[in-house]
Amino acid sequence: MGAPTLIDTLERLAPGTPMRVALDRIIQQGNGGLIVLGYDQSVARASSGGFKLQNTSFTSARLAELSKMDGGIVLDDTWGEILQANVHFTPDGSIPTDETGARHRTAQRLAYETGKPVVAVSEGRRVATLFYEGQKIELATPTEVAARVNQELQSLDRMRGRLDEAEARLTRLEVSGLATYRAAVTVIQRAEVVERLGELVESRTLTLGDEGRILTLQLNDLLSGVDKIKRWVLQDYVKPLRQGSIGRALERLAALNGTDLEDPVNLGRALRFPDLDEPAEPRGYRILSQVGRLPESVKEDIVRYFGSLSKLLHATEDQLIDVEGVGETRARQLRAFFDRLQAAAHDWEPVPD
């Protein structure tokens, strides 16, 4: 059995699930607790004392009762059996932690050392916190989480609007022959910010269980197409475009911290772009993606044939027909689409970033 993902773990800790009911009972009792959700030799090495339980299946009431002891609790990987109770955990003290309370420091180090989900229940703050895969997620009440998620969705909606504006501006610049790497970086930057905030909101929404379904639908709507926009812009501007170059660019983008992501120069440098204000010649992947029912293979052939968006936009129907897989009908469709783009950009006055 493989290690559960963070999403799987959060779904199993959502309100109404047996484990969440147990955690809520511990909080209602006014107790604290430290619970390791999985077992292997790394957990055994970081444990001492306590006692082993035999054939003790997990129930919410049983876990809540065992939490009244001072030590921690260990479950098997399925969370179906309680293996140990009243355990003293001794993870590696050299593992860095930003937690101040002893229980939460232990939980963070234990999660890092063992790779298992670890839940710390604070009796003072009356909240359970999950430590897993390098993340710390508070399992707040559904009402608190829903309020926070609604606020974040509003922020995400504004950010998505800014992304759409940046993409529309890039389209006009490209069609007008005025595209720069700065305009491309702005779209990539805003797409990455939207995705990162979306991941945060998703992790919170999952803790709501069934109560978060409507919020999940809103989130999915806001994130729709964002990853594709980012990839298409990279396909247009990354040079040279070779096998694996887009994947490597995405890895460098993901590695940027928040400060570097906010700085267009640092972002451009990470993507190996030249000076941001240099004129740029896109290949045309993103524009062609807006053409309905255009197969990927045909899109690739069109880009390969013309080499640049500028040449593509000025291609005649006969030149388009020369591309394998286009044909007369598709050539007319493409030419009409390009004409509409050029007409829309004709009277547009570019505004500097």
Please report the pLDDT score of residue 211 as a whole number: 78
- Its pTM stands at 0.78
Across 60-85, average pLDDT: 96
Predicted local distance difference test score (pLDDT) of residue 242: 92
**What is the band of 1 on the pLDDT scale with cuts at 50, 70, 90?**
low
* Among 195, 198, 214, residue whose Cα is nearest residue 146: 214
Q: Is the pLDDT of residue 95 over 80?
A: yes
pLDDT band at 347 (very low <50, low <70, confident <90, very high): confident
CA dihedral defined by 143, 144, 149, 155, rounded to 10 degrees? 130
pLDDT of residue 91: 97
Contact 36, 43 (CB under 8 A): yes
- The fraction of the chain above a pLDDT of 90, given in percent, is 87
Q: What is the pLDDT of residues 48-65, one digit of tens each?
A: 999 999 999 999 999 999
Per-residue pLDDT, averaged over 150-161, amounts to 96
Task: Please report the pLDDT score of residue 349 as a whole number.
Answer: 64
Question: If one looks up domain 6-139 in CATH, what number appears?
Answer: 3.40.1700.10
Q: Give the count of beta carbons closer than 10 Å to the beta carbon of residue 351.
A: 6
> Domain 283-344 is of which CATH architecture?
Orthogonal Bundle (1.10)
Residue 2 has pLDDT above 60, yes or no: yes
Q: Give the pLDDT confidence score for residue 239 in this predicted structure.
A: 93
Strands (E), the chain: 33-37, 47-48, 51-52, 72-75, 82-89, 118-122, 127-132, 135-139
- Quick one: DSSP state of residue 314? T
Confidence at residue 350, expressed as pLDDT on a 0 to 100 scale: 66
What stretch of H or E contains 253?
helix 245-255
pLDDT tens-digit readout, 227-275: 999 999 999 999 999 999 999 999 999 999 999 999 999 999 999 999 9
**Could you tell me the two tokens for 199?**
């991941």
In the predicted structure, residue 353 carries a pLDDT above the cut 80:
no
97/84 Cα distance (integer angstroms): 25
In this prediction, residue 273 carries a pLDDT of 97
What's the mean pLDDT in 107-119?
Answer: 97
Cα–Cα distance, 327 to 317 (Å, whole number): 9
Q: Determine the angle formed by the axes of helices 181-206 and 213-223, rounding to 10 degrees.
A: 170
Residue 268: CA count within 13 A, CB half-sphere = 17
Who contacts 201 (Cβ-Cβ below 8 Å, separation ≥6)?
149, 152, 153, 156, 219
- pLDDT tens for 267-304 read 999 999 999 999 999 999 999 999 989 999 999 999 99
Phi, psi for residue 217 in degrees, rounded to 5: -60, -45
DSSP string, 64-119: HHHTTSSSEEEE-TTSSBEEEEEEEE---TTS-----SHHHHHHHHHHHHH-S-EE
The answer to whether 84 and 51 are in contact (CB under 8 A) is yes
Region 104-131: mean pLDDT is 96
User: How confident is the model over 90-113, as a mean pLDDT?
Assistant: 96
Looking at domain 141-282, its CATH architecture is Up-down Bundle (1.20)
Average pLDDT over residues 164-170: 96
Q: Is the pLDDT of residue 87 over 60?
A: yes
Cβ(172)–Cβ(117) below 8 Å: no
> Average model confidence (pLDDT) for the chain?
94
**Higher per-residue pLDDT: 344 or 132:** 132
| pLDDT (0 to 100) of residue 299 | 96
Average pLDDT over residues 124-153: 92
Looking at the predicted structure, is the pLDDT value of residue 134 above 90?
yes
Burial of 166 per CB tally in 10 Å (0-12, 13-18, 19+): buried
Question: pLDDT value at position 352?
Answer: 60
The pLDDT value recorded for residue 209 is 77
Mean pLDDT over 132-158 rounds to 92
> pLDDT at position 346, please?
78
State the pLDDT at residue 206.
82
Domain coordinates of the chain in residue numbers?
A: 6-139, 141-282, 283-344
Q: Which residues contact 341 (CB under 8 A, 6 or more apart)?
A: 171, 175, 287, 313
